[in-house]
Structure 1
Amino acid sequence: MAIALSLLSALAYGVSDFLGGIFAKRSSSWQVAVVGQTSSGVISLLAALIVATTPGSADLMYGALAGLGGGFGVAFLYRGLATARMSVVAPISAIGTALIPVVVGLVTGDRPSWVAMLGIVFAFPAIALISRVVDDNPAHQGGVIDGVLAGVGFGLLFTFLGQVGDDAGLYPLAISQVTSVFGVIVTATVLGHAWVPRGRRVWSALVMGPLGVTAQAAFLYATHHGLLSIVSVISSLYPASTVLLASVLLRERIHGWQGVGLVFAALAVALVAWG
């Protein structure tokens, strides 16, 4: 169950990132982030009201901290996707997304089997190979920096969501989604960017709401059935779908080493599932 939910999370994140990049190229990346995260927040809050639970204060706190990390991450991810190649920014962000919760999980007591651990090991070169693009364009180099910053934010998102209790329900998820909006706004304000949605095009990002809720909810429930170190690394393979979509729909070329990275990603999933 944990592997299936992690893969669902990765797929939803990958499709959401692809759409976010498309919308950010047509409008302000910060405004797209605000609209997309607000849409997710409204949907997750409605879902939380339907699923009657009573989460503890610690669960709500972890949800809020996760949201701040997620808001920071999505702001830089969309900025990078708008100014650089999708096949550069998204994979780089995944390295930090996977590394931080894997380290935290192992330090706090996760003990994967040796087969699953081998799968985790394979996942990192998979991400690195998918990320490897030879490009001297200065704008693309800026995308690398945005990818790194996004990875830190998403790594914190995964880490804090992984601390939410099994019986906390969806309120921590709703808190996370709502808080992420404030994370985007604060980041945009500090960097001097306009974040108030303007124009008709930016509202297309509303369709990202269901994808964002699906991605985070699947990850949250996956951590209830599996180890954080395993769930996070499988969910962090989301760039594979982003790269494939960019290749098919935007005609971005997949280099040979990226193809090898996709094979390594499949092998990582298979090993973790077997373990």
Structure 2
Amino acid sequence: MAIALSLLSALSYGISDFLGGIFAKRSSPWQVAVVGQTSSGVISLLAALVVAGAPTSTDMAYGALAGLGGGFGVAFLYRGLSTARMGVVAPLSAIGTALIPVAVGLSTGDRPSPLALVGVVCAFPAIALISRVVDDNPAHRGGVIDGILAGIGFGTLFTFLGQVGDEAGLYPLALSQLTSIGAVIVTATVLRQAWVPRSRRAWAAVVMGPLGATAQGAFLFATHHGLLSIVSVISSLYPASTVLLAAVLLREKIHRWQGVGLAFAALAVTLVAAG
């Protein structure tokens, strides 16, 4: 069950990120992030009213902290996707997304098999290869930085969301997504970027709401059935669909050394799942 939910999370994240990158290229990444997170938050809140749950104050605090990381991550992910190649930004963000909760899980009692630990080690060469830039285009270098920052944010999101109790229901998830809106606004304000959605193109990001809610909801329930260190790595497969869609629809080329990096990343996830 944990593997199936994690893969559902990965697929939903990947499609959502592809759409977010498209919308961000046509509008503002900050405005797209605000609209997308608001849409996800509303859907999760409505679902929380239906799904039974009894969250504690600790569960809600974890949800809020997860939202701060998620908002920070999505803001820089969309900024990177709007200016650089999706095949660089999305995979790089996924490695950070996986490594942080893996480290936390191992330090707090997770005991994956030796095979899974080998998979974690394989993630490091993947980082070096995937993050190599195609040329001297400053946008590509900026995409690498944005991918790293997004990975830190999403890793924080996964870590805290994974601490929410099994009986909490969906209220901590809804709080997480609503809190993330504030994180996006604060980040945009500090960087002096316009975040108020004013164009029709920015509001098109409302269609990402169901995908975002599904991605985080599936991850949350997956952590109730499996180890955080395992679930987070499987869910971090999300760039696979993003890169595939970018290659097919946007004609983005996957360079040979990036392909090797993606292979290492796939090997890492496979070993962790098998372990």
TM-score normalised by L of structure 1? 0.95
Give the structure 1 partner of residue 271 of structure 2. 271
Query: 1:34 and 1:18, CA in 2 relative to 1: closer, same or farther beyond 3 A?
Result: same
The alignment of Structure 1 onto Structure 2 pairs a total of residues equal to 275
Query: 1:210 and 1:128, CA in 2 relative to 1: closer, same or farther beyond 3 A?
Result: farther
Query: In 1, distance between residues paired with 2:135 and 2:271?
Result: 33
The offset of 1:122, in angstroms, is 3.1
Amino acid in the other structure paired with 2:56 = G
| Equivalent residues of 2:20, 2:205 under 8 A apart | yes
The offset of 1:134, in angstroms, is 2.5
Query: 1:131 and 1:241, CA in 2 relative to 1: closer, same or farther beyond 3 A?
Result: farther
Query: In 2, distance between residues paired with 1:131 and 1:145?
Result: 9
Give the structure 2 partner of residue 101 of structure 1. 101
Give the structure 2 partner of residue 224 of structure 1. 224
Query: In 1, distance between residues paired with 2:12 and 2:48?
Result: 20
Moved more, 94-103 or 262-271: 262-271
Give the structure 1 partner of residue 37 of structure 2. 37
Amino acid in the other structure paired with 1:64 = A
Query: In 1, distance between residues paired with 2:39 and 2:25?
Result: 19
Identity percentage of aligned residues:
83
The offset of 1:193, in angstroms, is 0.9
| Equivalent residues of 1:84, 1:143 under 8 A apart | yes
Query: In 2, distance between residues paired with 1:123 and 1:6?
Result: 18
Amino acid in the other structure paired with 1:142 = G
TM-score normalised by L of structure 2? 0.95
Query: In 1, distance between residues paired with 2:57 and 2:3?
Result: 29
Query: In 2, distance between residues paired with 1:129 and 1:220?
Result: 30
What's the C-alpha RMSD, in Å, of the aligned pairs?
1.5
1:36-95 CA-to-partner distances (Å, cap 9, x unmatched) read 000000000000001121100000000000001100111111111111111111122122
Moved more, 88-97 or 65-74: 88-97
Give the structure 1 partner of residue 155 of structure 2. 155
Amino acid in the other structure paired with 1:196 = V
Query: In 1, distance between residues paired with 2:41 and 2:175?
Result: 8
Structure 1: where are the runs of 5+ without partners? none
| Equivalent residues of 1:51, 1:170 under 8 A apart | yes
| Equivalent residues of 1:91, 1:128 under 8 A apart | no
Query: In 2, distance between residues paired with 1:274 and 1:88?
Result: 27
| Equivalent residues of 1:40, 1:208 under 8 A apart | yes
User: Residue 211 in 1 paired to residue 229 in 2?
Assistant: no
The offset of 1:219, in angstroms, is 0.9
Give the structure 2 partner of residue 87 of structure 1. 87
Query: In 1, distance between residues paired with 2:141 and 2:261?
Result: 21
Amino acid in the other structure paired with 1:214 = T
The offset of 1:254, in angstroms, is 1.1
User: Residue 202 in 1 paired to residue 188 in 2?
Assistant: no
Query: 1:273 and 1:150, CA in 2 relative to 1: closer, same or farther beyond 3 A?
Result: closer
Aligned to 1:225, the other structure's residue is in SS state coil
Query: 1:217 and 1:125, CA in 2 relative to 1: closer, same or farther beyond 3 A?
Result: farther
User: Residue 259 in 1 paired to residue 254 in 2?
Assistant: no
Moved over 4 A (4+): none
Query: In 1, distance between residues paired with 2:269 and 2:123?
Result: 8
Give the structure 1 partner of residue 111 of structure 2. 111
Amino acid in the other structure paired with 2:213 = V
Query: In 1, distance between residues paired with 2:63 and 2:78?
Result: 22
1:90-136 CA-to-partner distances (Å, cap 9, x unmatched) read 12212221111111111111100112222333344445544444321
Amino acid in the other structure paired with 1:218 = A
Query: In 2, distance between residues paired with 1:264 and 1:53?
Result: 39
Structure 2: where are the runs of 5+ without partners? none
Amino acid in the other structure paired with 2:8 = L
| Equivalent residues of 2:134, 2:140 under 8 A apart | no
